[in-house]
Amino acid sequence: MSQSLSSSSLSSGVWHATSLPMFSQLDISNIEAQLDAILAANRDKIQTLTRSTDTVTWDNFALPMEQLSDELAQFWSPISHLNMVKNTPELRDVYNACLPKLSAYSTELGQNKALYQAYKTLAQSDASFSQAQQEALRQNIRSFELSGVALEGDAKQRYGEISTRLSELGSKFGENVLDATRAWEKLITDETLLTGLPDSALAQAKQMAAAKEQEGWLFTLDAPSFIPVMSYADNQALRAEIYHAYVTRASNQGPNANEFDNAPLIDEILQLRDEQARILGFDNFAELSVATKMADSGAQVMDFLDDLALKSKPAAEQDLAELKAYAQEAFGIEQLEAWDIGYYSEKLRQHKYAISQEELRPYFPMNKVVSGLFTVANKLFGVDVREEKAFDTYHPDAQLFTVSKQGTDIARFYLDPYAREGKRGGAWMDDCRIRRRLPSGDLQLPVAYLVCNFTAPVGDQPALLTHDELTTLFHEFGHGLHHMLTQVEVMDVSGISGVAWDAVELPSQFLENWCWEPEALAFISGHHETGEALPQALLDKMLAAKNFQAAMQMVRQLEFSLFDFRLHKEFNQSKTGGQTVQDVLNQVRDDVAVIKAPDFNRFQTSFSHIFAGGYAAGYYSYKWAEVLSADAFSKFEEEGIFNQETGALFRDTILANGGSQPAGQLFAAFRGREPSIDALLRHNGIAA
């Protein structure tokens, strides 16, 4: 194994050369052989560790197991990261060749009875374990049981086959979305077709055309290109064309129909997930998913979503009625099409509040926003952030920062902010290194990846963010803080590890609140030419418009959540002539949606969260955690948004403890009670 991929060896506050991936030294042609060697070595070591399980201790068993996991994770982390942010055909081939090997290894571990017995023996020993060690053991034992450790014969073999196939299907689904997004672009050479588009969008499109040695304006399906067209382009035909291309990505419809179709993959994924759940004794995959979450049962999740829909839909219908009336009165539009909603919503927002995202953009230059973000983190949690100039990078856009507390380094993170070709869409946080106590006694410090897809700088002008992009940055940094401010030293429950999936969005959604606070915006914003903070008049308009169409946004998210959960709850492969995926989506839309999607809309074929990410039967987590985050923030509303004691309490309960205690207990420790839905409805303007 090359030095660049070896495990970290860090003393507290000291960074060694090997504490970060050496991207420049990654030899793609050698990755598969390296992985084979690591897996073979791990298998040998595990065999040795489980040979005698009579006298297992934390130090002679759990710690060596953790070390094996971490070495593998540190090898794979930069490869997985590059596959998402700098995708090439060569890397993709190697990545896909490695996936079945990793899946087989994972299944093998999960079904290793000797390992399972060793963890159980350790958990039942009379050793005095820390809270983190106890929780790690509990979660490990549960993980074995949910991985089919009790299975025998055909069932055991079938479980392994399904796991391998599901990892391949998930990867292929994501590739199809990326390729379908990449496959469509439109060059426009007549500027009169682009009226209404803001200067920033035109400059971006011109720069993209120039990068491909073309004259004119180039548009793609990436968010920084797609969203301005849908919001501002006067040309309805252009809006309809780009909308049609976007909502038919990776499907049997649209401009690239059948070329990257994910529908057959969805059917196979659902069938395999259902089969796997039943092998493990669950009624359906939704119940298997909930087994590791805060929610007690699938029924509780459905009740939660149905209750939110019941409370939100009347307000969403009012939002839509207002939009239709405005489009008719002001523009004579009798029939609002799906590709008109964003455009006339933006017109209505400007009509009611005289404000647009574009008007705010000059006040949110990237460098000012980032320094403001760090000021918020400092005021709330007592941490400082500094940029590192010299490091081994994989792209000029990527930056590296060190987080310190009272002069001691405690974490690092990469920030990769801008959209580009070969980079997966959306925004996410991932771990690069996990905080843990090493066998040597040194403390390994956490490192995170924070990835966004913002509009890149144009010419000499800095990158200027919309307020929506600002909240996205704060959201991902919230995830990052959860990972980086942990005080836990046991890998399986350190940072975001071991946190119930429906609570993992709590810190991220929580941090978004500061993007709306005048006291915070005073140092988050600064005009890119004059340095002037967001003027009071603009701020007042922005706050007045905060809940504009919030109920419509709410039911849209509930549509995604209910579709995902019902799809996994109601799927039954033994039913002949049962519901199709489209049937379930149509039913959910009939129940909760207020905007009718066109028949050609194939939203599901690019729903990567649930088919290529970790949110299967768990997309509801966004709403579940939003209840927690709104309620947590209400404590700051009561006690002061920069109240240091409240900030320290949030840091020391929610962030510091990672997955070492159940999320419900940590929330109650912070809030002094169980969570309440009231703050969420109030923040969204749905309830007084």
Structure tokens at 537: 């008049």
Task: State the CATH class of domain 3-178.
Answer: mainly alpha
How sure is the predictor about 571, in pLDDT bands with cuts at 50, 70 and 90? confident
- Read off the pLDDT of residues 165-212 as tens digits, 9 standing for 90 and up: 999 999 999 999 999 999 999 999 999 999 999 999 999 999 999 999
Query: Looking at residues 136-149, what average pLDDT do you find?
Result: 97
- List the alpha helices (DSSP H) in 411-570: 467-484, 506-512, 518-524, 536-544, 550-570
The token pair that represents 318 in the structure block? 């009012």
Identify the H or E element spanning 447. Answer: strand 447-454
User: What's the rounded Cα separation, in Å, for the pair 165 and 179?
Assistant: 21
CB 463 within 8 A of CB 41: no
Q: How confident is the model over 311-358, as pLDDT tens digits?
A: 999 999 999 999 999 999 999 999 999 999 999 999 999 999 999 889
Select the CATH number that applies to the domain covering 263-355+549-619 from these four: 1.10.1370.10, 1.20.1250.20, 3.40.50.970, 2.40.40.20.
1.10.1370.10
Longest dimension (CA), the chain: 81
Pairing, β 217-220 against β 185-188: antiparallel
- The reported pTM is 0.93
Q: 496 and 658 in contact (C-beta within 8 Å)?
A: yes
Classify 414 as helix, strand or coil: strand
Number of H helices, E strands in the chain: 27, 9
Q: Give me the sheet containing 447-454, strands edge to edge.
A: 384-388, 399-405, 408-418, 447-454, 428-433
Tokens of 509: 């959604």
Which range is least confidently modeled, 19-33, 573-587, 639-653? 573-587
Computed over its alpha carbons, how large is the radius of gyration of the chain? 25
Number of Cβ within 10 Å of residue 293's Cβ equals: 21
Q: Give the residue from 358, 370, 351, 468 showing the smallest Cα distance to 413.
A: 370
Which residue in 476, 512, 559, 626 is the catalytic one? 476
Strands 428-433 and 436-437: unpaired
- Rounded to whole angstroms, how far apart are CA atoms 628 and 298? 19
Per-residue tokens: 594: 């207020």
Label residue 127 by pLDDT band (50, 70, 90). Answer: confident
DSSP string, 21-72: --GGG--GGGHHHHHHHHHHHHHHHHHHHTT--TT--IIIIIHHHHHHHHHH
Check if the beta carbon of residue 171 is closer than 8 Å to that of residue 271.
no
Q: Where in the chain is the domain with CATH 1.10.1370.10?
A: 263-355+549-619
The per-residue pLDDT of the chain, averaged, comes to 94
pLDDT at residue 6 above 90?
no
**In whole angstroms, what is the distance from residue 482 CA to residue 508 CA?**
8
Write out pLDDT tens, residues 251-269.
Answer: 999 999 999 999 999 999 9
476: annotated active-site residue = yes
Span(s) in the chain for CATH 1.10.1370.40: 3-178
